[in-house]
Amino acid sequence: MQFLVFLSLDQPIFAKQSNTLAILLHIDTAGEKAFVAITNNNEVLGIAENNISNTHAQFVQEAIASICSTNHISLQTIDAVVVTMGPGSYTGLRVGLSSAKGIAYALNKPLIGLSTLSLLANAAKKIITDNNNIETSFQIFAMIDARRMEVFGALFNQSLDIILPEQAIILDTAFLEQCISNGPVYCIGSGAAKTKDLLTHPLLHFIDNHYQIEDCIALAIEKYNSQSFENLAYASPAYIKDFFMK
């Protein structure tokens, strides 16, 4: 009977007033480096990092326990679980999402999924803005190294609206020339190095930085306030491999 009542609720089970402060558990195992953090609004309460990619599965649970113990935080007090959904490492994405879904389910907390490419784009925009770039219109090409001359990439405008959705892209000179035909392009991510060997152009720029916990906080809070949560039963990593299988 309680299950039937649960399904009949008019308001989402996690509905809260918008723009409220949120304590969030972050899990990012999408790349070679992983991190786990607990944040309260824009404040990082605790963070742990791991640079050994094949130990992410063990790292996540131990890191969460350590952060909670060191900072005297109970997981029951978090408002949502945040996880990077990809694209990224196949194994890493499975580790991160499985851990995040398990915790969210056990604690009855909402799950917030973040795109690694959106995180990269957010990081790039901050750098461009901080450098007082005079260009009012630009594009951000966020990309993650795939194989050979392929990347998992997406193209964003200066407002971080998606121009080219996430997909597998074969890099070549013609593709890059088409991108810069619409204005300056800033490349960021592990795949950006490949573009340097293809084309040199004053409208093509490169950003070596990666996204940080601050970028995760910014996008996660935005999703939390808009109640843009993942479905625990159906959420799956953004592998993107199906787009280019041969």
Q: pLDDT tens across 43-95, in order?
A: 999 999 999 888 899 999 999 999 999 999 999 999 999 999 999 998 999 99
DSSP-assigned states of every residue in 124-149:
HHHHHHHTT---SS-EEEEEEEEETT
Q: Give me the pLDDT at residue 73, please.
A: 93
Query: Tokens 């152009």 label which residue?
Result: 201
Q: What is the mean pLDDT of residues 136-164?
A: 93
User: Model-level pTM?
Assistant: 0.87
Residue 243 predicted with pLDDT over 60: no
- CATH architecture entry for 117-207: 2-Layer Sandwich (3.30)
Indicate the pLDDT class of residue 162, thresholds 50, 70 and 90: very high
> Residue 138 pLDDT > 90, yes or no?
yes
CATH superfamily of this structure's domain 14-115+224-241:
ATPase, nucleotide binding domain (3.30.420.40)
Q: Do domains 14-115+224-241 and 117-207 have the same CATH topology?
A: yes
12: helix, coil or strand?
Answer: coil
> What pLDDT shows up at residue 147?
83
Q: Which of 14, 25, 24 shows the shortest CA–CA distance to 228?
A: 14
d(CA 136, CA 142): 19
pLDDT at 148: 86
Task: Classify residue 115 by its DSSP letter.
Answer: E
Q: Which pLDDT does position 133 carry in this prediction?
A: 57
- Enumerate the domain spans of the chain: 14-115+224-241, 117-207
On the question of pLDDT at 18 being above 80, the answer is: no
| Residues of the chain above pLDDT 90, percent | 76
- Give residue-wise pLDDT tens across range 171-220: 999 999 999 999 999 999 999 988 888 999 999 999 998 999 999 999 99
Percent of all residues in the chain with a pLDDT value above 70, rounded to a whole number? 88
DSSP state letters, 153-213: EEEEETT--EEEEEEEEE--HHHHHHHHTTS-EEEESTTHHHHHTT---TTEEEE-----H
User: Does residue 136 have a pLDDT over 80?
Assistant: no
Instruction: Read off the pLDDT of each residue in 120-144 and give the average, rounded to a whole number.
Output: 87
E strand or H helix that includes residue 27: strand 23-28
Token representation of residue 222: 């935005």
